[in-house]
Amino acid sequence: SLAPDSAHAQHMFGHILPQLGRWADAAEYFLKAHRIHLREAQVEGYATSDDWHFEHNLDLLTSTLVYLGRGAEAESLNRGQCKEGAIMSCYIESGLLMVNGKYNEALSLIKLRFNGYRNSDMITNLAILAMVGQGQLDQARARLQQLKVAEDGDQSAGYLFARAAVELLDASTDHEAVMDLVRHRLNRPGFDSWSKGVIHSRILARVLRERGAPELAQRIETMSISAYETQTCKTQACKQNGLGKP
């Protein structure tokens, strides 16, 4: 049996289970790791934001719950984790609010914790998605243009999905070229990469659907499922389980 007091042992077993199509079990092991982290932080007297693995595990737990359609449960687990200086926790919590369509609340949280989202490109990307969700396309486009992006094409998931939200709602852009960028990002190998894509693709699909582009939203959702099958679902048992659908 797994070491009952080791958060990392529970977490790594959770990593394996999605490859078998066992999503609900993966969520339970990530949740066990989460509870161990919380207990250790309380006993030892340190902030969870000082523990990189706490935020990493919470990230995968959140993605897994969202994939299972348990977004409300994920939101409840994350609420209050966004504290001053805890960039990843704030990223997860504000992103999750947007998965659930709470764009105003997400922007308020970002502005409160990040002084108007000026000191983190990662957070700015989420703010851009929230602006598009609110219908503030011009403001979102202006913020997007201000971001400094690497020129080697290895752009962050956040930037690519923020860019996609702006450009897929602009009739003058090449939608297929944007879709290719999204597909490429979703198909990066590994569960960690795919998991980040889950949150971003859910936000993007919701924004597109709410802003009058349901066909594009459906294509984004289909890409996410396909990427799971290609990159994460490694066994025949998994593939027989509805192409990785929970």
**188-197 pLDDT tens trace:** 877 777 777 8
pLDDT tens digits, one per residue of 91-137 = 888 888 998 899 999 988 887 776 544 446 677 888 899 999 999 99
Considering the entire predicted model, what is its pTM?
0.84
Question: Exposed, middle or buried: residue 52 (CB in 10 Å: 0-12, 13-18, 19+)?
Answer: exposed
Q: What is the pLDDT of residue 185?
A: 84
- Is residue 234 scored above 50 in pLDDT? yes
